[in-house]
Copies of this chain bind each other. A is one copy, B any other.
């Protein structure tokens, strides 16, 4: 998002503060001391996410809420109050959290298939993993082709901590995998609309069985019981995979020879060539690719003073760790290796990077380019596709900085 775009947006949003106050939502931002540049959203937060920080978010709709680029800050974890939301169906009724421990998960495709309560899952094992959670459409807003779907820029992503039981531990407790398992499939517990084929709406996704080693059934996020907005009481976490594969309110986990026949799997979230129809033989959005972007100096905070500037951002590479990040202040003509900053939370988390530069007055095009430990380099250009998935173009994610 360019500086100009943000100024235009600020103008449009100017009248929203009063409405927000009437909803009683302003105290959060005030108490936390939101900067003047952290604007209130144009639309109010939906009830199930009313506890979030409106100043840090752009509400696209009741099921699509984006973190502002300037709200990411420079620490490694994204707090729950400013984490994005993308739900494929309306969230279930909050009453599903009344008795968390009684939530049940049906497991099939193992030698001893059966249902397990959350209380029982909690006795089997405990692990904590930090992952980047990202909607596969993050960056869609940069496609000139304007694919249908939410025009996310960078804010349909965050880095969070999950606690739960490893799926491999659950599988071992149920006697191991049955013969012929090629895919791991999770099914969400959303209430489906009446009168339509369940397969046309159910949130059910399959990932290759190799993901089993890393998967978690999580009941906690960032040190709190998992909220309804983020899939509580129980969510399947597939570290390194695009967000849609991390099934909220998970009710069923199965290990099968073939992928789910649900529409969201067979036809949704496919790398469909521009102009073509979706089809199950196109690549699904699974592992995230190598990607980075700059979050500061915040493009919406106005010009910065000439002199030393700290440029910072985030970098991640799906299931691979980040090897290094390069930063350019001239739109990609020359590159400088940035420092990796702060604690390393593991290969599924993002790394913060920072570069200290001396900038005389002028206009700069800031870009970042990540390299992962497998040698993959973040590309200059996006892979064009009909629905705007998997955009990791460094050129698309560049930002203009005015130094005065």
Which residues on B sit within 8 Å (CB–CB) of A345? 343, 345
CB distance from A203 to the nearest CB of B (A): 20
Question: Bound state CA distance, A220 and B28, in angstroms?
Answer: 16
Known: A73-B225, A82-B223, A163-B342. A35 touches B100 (CB 8 A): yes
Nearest neighbor of A164 in chain B, beta-carbon distance: B74
Which residues on B sit within 8 Å (CB–CB) of A47? 31
For A343, give its contact among B78, B222, B226, B349 (CB under 8 Å).
Answer: B349
A288 at the A/B interface (Cβ < 8 Å)? no
A175 at the A/B interface (Cβ < 8 Å)? no
For A224, give its contact among B30, B79, B119, B352 (CB under 8 Å).
Answer: B79
Of the stretches A126-134, A140-148, A279-287, the one at the interface is A126-134
Of the stretches A302-310, A368-376, A381-389, the one at the interface is A302-310
A44 at the A/B interface (Cβ < 8 Å)? no
For A33, give its contact among B94, B161, B343, B349 (CB under 8 Å).
Answer: B94
Taking the full assembly, how many copies of this chain does it contain? Answer: 2
CB distance from A308 to the nearest CB of B (A): 4
Which residues on B sit within 8 Å (CB–CB) of A342? 127-130, 161, 163
Which residues on B sit within 8 Å (CB–CB) of A309? 123
A80 at the A/B interface (Cβ < 8 Å)? yes
Which residues on B sit within 8 Å (CB–CB) of A308? 123-124
CB pair A51–B75 under 8 Å, yes or no, is no
CB distance from A230 to the nearest CB of B (A): 10
CB distance from A124 to the nearest CB of B (A): 7
CB distance from A39 to the nearest CB of B (A): 14
Which residues on B sit within 8 Å (CB–CB) of A53? 224
Question: Bound state CA distance, A194 and B229, in angstroms?
Answer: 48
Which residues on B sit within 8 Å (CB–CB) of A74? 126, 128, 163, 220
Which residues on B sit within 8 Å (CB–CB) of A305? 119, 123
A201 at the A/B interface (Cβ < 8 Å)? no
Known: A73-B220, A222-B77. A228 touches B307 (CB 8 A): no
A200 at the A/B interface (Cβ < 8 Å)? no
Question: Bound state CA distance, A127 and B343, in angstroms?
Answer: 10
How many residues on the A side are at the interface (Cβ–Cβ under 8 A)?
73
CB pair B125–A33 under 8 Å, yes or no, is no
For A126, give its contact among B119, B128, B307, B312 (CB under 8 Å).
Answer: B312
A254 at the A/B interface (Cβ < 8 Å)? no
Interface positions of A from 68 to 104, Cβ below 8 Å from B: 71-82, 94, 97-98, 100
Nearest neighbor of A99 in chain B, beta-carbon distance: B36
For A356, give its contact among B77, B125, B344 (CB under 8 Å).
Answer: B125
Known: A129-B342, A163-B342, A310-B122. A223 touches B75 (CB 8 A): yes
Known: A228-B33, A310-B122, A342-B129. A163 touches B349 (CB 8 A): no
Which residues on B sit within 8 Å (CB–CB) of A34? 225
Known: A31-B94, A35-B225, A127-B341. A79 touches B79 (CB 8 A): yes
Additional 16 contacts, C-beta under 8 A, given A33-B98, A78-B223, A124-B310? A28-B51, A31-B47, A31-B50, A32-B51, A33-B100, A33-B228, A53-B224, A75-B161, A75-B221, A77-B77, A77-B161, A77-B222, A79-B79, A79-B222, A128-B341, A128-B343
Query: What 9 A-B pairs have minimum CB-CB distances, sorted nearest first?
Result: A128-B342, A33-B97, A75-B223, A343-B345, A74-B163, A75-B161, A123-B308, A126-B354, A75-B163
